[in-house]
Structure 1
């Protein structure tokens, strides 16, 4: 395969990592894909047979090249900033980045050029972004963030642990304890919820700062994996937390909408979905994802998701199982009142049910992976579904009606504020002890 034939700019960005950060990437081979990537037609991969025809995906040379290239791509502006870790420590890097987000980079005394580059890249909004459409998408996304996501985030989180090659960075963070698992889930939920607030992702918004923090944490994980961990085998795993592994979290909502559109015989997104797509793509841009990984069509979104899975070698070991176990066992509520405990039980049941959907509805497979859906779970979901799905459906309907939009959005924002209070303030730590 000729690397760069279809995506020359992306390939050049990958190769530039050697020159931009030789201390970090100097011994990474960007010309050879790591073992985790496989186009062998006989290899077992992360793509279940019931999802798509792997053979057809392997025939698409453009998508195969895109996945291979993005598997070797870190973050060319955040990684150099994270590499200042030995000099400033994680608290120092966080402090400078927070101040740069809130007051401007010139307010940071002796601001490193790496910090200026990171902030400058996030401020450089691409021409393809329509910020008005982003705000419309955020309004629609708030409904899911307030009324649906709190019940399924844990289940979606579990899906990221089903592959050893993609999950190893989480192992390196030391994120196997119950408390760390709870922190990870709540921080993730908080970030995605916060970015849906009005104007949150504008330059002076809280979502912009949160995206910068998440981006920094990903880069710190890469630094620790490549420079401080004996677990990381470059020939097997390649670049830690590559951009191809960041894409699913940022675009999972659009994948689900794209699959629903395909089932209904539609080849394009409707107006509401197009706004959600613009919102999701801009959020991904702030997180450092390249435009090449952010398709704009139904088939494009489905294609990149399925191709990533089709080219990711399968493996599920005891470390993945430990991540699943710790995440399922984590207590996510802020208190231990009767209501908190009941809410935790309901959420845990919904997450288990949602995880089963990732297993194609196979409850036995979900149980083998560490997330069984038992009779009490089914009962809890059945009893609460009229309220959970009914409220979500009603607010989704109201958000599309001009006469009801304002009132519906005001109610949604009040509920979302309570959700954010429940999630707590993000700690933004990597779980390492090298800070």
Structure 2
């Protein structure tokens, strides 16, 4: 530019991982048509504002600084994992004051755990937790199946593949650990009770994410230019959306009638649960519309670049429920049913175009089971609103989700261990 040149400089391209081509894809004809359709029919925008979208892109480079400082000082510092895990368990059971030699980073982490943000509405959090309990085992089914769609993305699939938790023979064990987490955090009052199992589990998961983030980020297979930071704020927030509006709307297909009021409670519940996990995005999606816009944005930005890692994760999920060697009698029958019904759920909640890319088990005739149950589920959803049946229905669904999980665990305990090395 010369001294007298008044031509404005070209705008700086938004900072975005190369494997997240949202800004390019949203201009494609098919997405422009979808934008116009949503604007005309629903009278709102399909995508978030550019400012909101850029914050979501920026958060792909952001992790959990408070917990990362603690993990660096303790687990990767002089204290080491064994002593660090013992200190963490002691502080979770008896408070941070029970650790006289706790480093400052640990005190900061627990101050954040014990401080309820001003935006939190406790009643709304409890209403959201109650919806999870009411869904019973369907939370496991829908959350597990809809997550398979995002495993097509390398930014999501590679950390899980390298850690090995949701792949191959480990898939069922880690999924059941996640189910245990869902049970713990949705117990009445659990997220606010000091020393509760929910808060312990949340902290253990938070620390595990940090440890995996560091190991994956240092791994030669991780592409920072393409994917940003492993387990970024963006994809952690998408996990919270995957526990709120996404499953609520998906379950309507099977007759589970989650109302807009209940969805708003789910959003708030998941946001506070996410806060305890270190999920503190620059643009928190706090409305049904915003969550749908975030889903549309990440859908438009898909690059289907997960390759063999995504293939293993997706195909491992339904296969994990198949009968195992040594299972006999009732255990074998239960596993056989779970395998077939989860195969049906995968077919129901995966896009046909995605599903055909992978070797998935046959869904027919098993998909007829949830379809046949739809009238009964719909009737139950209507009847449960009656005062005399509401609590009975809630208790029944809550007991069922716990008994299902206990039967699957067969005496094992969830560990949420951050010490394991990557599998390659």
Scaled to the shorter chain, the TM-score interval is: 0.7 to 0.9
Aligned with 1:338 (options 329, 332, 350)? 329
CA contact (8 A) 2:25 2:31 kept: no
Q: Does residue 1:329 correspond to 2:329, yes or no?
A: no
Q: How much does 1:43 deviate? A: 8.7
Map of 1:413-424 to 2, 5 A cutoff? 413-424=398-409
Aligned-residue RMSD, C-alpha: 3.6
2:389 counterpart residue number? 404
Q: Helix, strand or coil for the counterpart of 2:388?
A: coil
Q: Distance in 1 between matches of 2:304 and 2:422?
A: 31
Q: Does residue 1:271 correspond to 2:261, yes or no?
A: yes
CA contact (8 A) 1:269 1:297 kept: no
Q: Does residue 1:38 correspond to 2:29, yes or no?
A: no
Q: Helix, strand or coil for the counterpart of 1:403?
A: helix
1:17 counterpart residue number? none
Deviations 1:129-172 (A, max 9, x none): 1112211221222011x241243444234234211122111122
Aligned with 2:61 (options 62, 65, 72)? 72
Map of 1:344-423 to 2, 5 A cutoff? 344-360=335-351, 362=352, 365-372=354-361, 374=362, 377-383=363-369, 386=372, 393=378, 396-397=381-382, 399-423=384-408
1:141 and 1:365, CA in 2 relative to 1: closer, same or farther beyond 3 A? closer
Deviations 1:205-240 (A, max 9, x none): 21111111111111111111234x222232222211
Q: Distance in 2 between matches of 1:140 and 1:165?
A: 30
CA contact (8 A) 2:125 2:268 kept: yes
Structure 2: runs of 5 or more not aligned: 1-13, 38-44
Map of 1:107-146 to 2, 5 A cutoff? 107-144=98-135, 146=136
Number of equivalenced pairs? 391
Q: Does residue 1:98 correspond to 2:89, yes or no?
A: yes
1:220 and 1:44, CA in 2 relative to 1: closer, same or farther beyond 3 A? farther
1:109 and 1:416, CA in 2 relative to 1: closer, same or farther beyond 3 A? farther
Q: Distance in 1 between matches of 2:421 and 2:321?
A: 24
Higher Cα Rg, which structure: 2
Structure 1: runs of 5 or more not aligned: 1-30
Q: How much does 1:186 deviate? A: 1.0
Q: Please, which moves more after superposition, 32-41 or 192-201? A: 32-41
Q: Helix, strand or coil for the counterpart of 1:281?
A: helix
1:252 and 1:311, CA in 2 relative to 1: closer, same or farther beyond 3 A? same
TM-score by length of 2: 0.80
Q: How much does 1:341 deviate? A: 2.8
Q: Distance in 1 between matches of 2:331 and 2:85?
A: 32
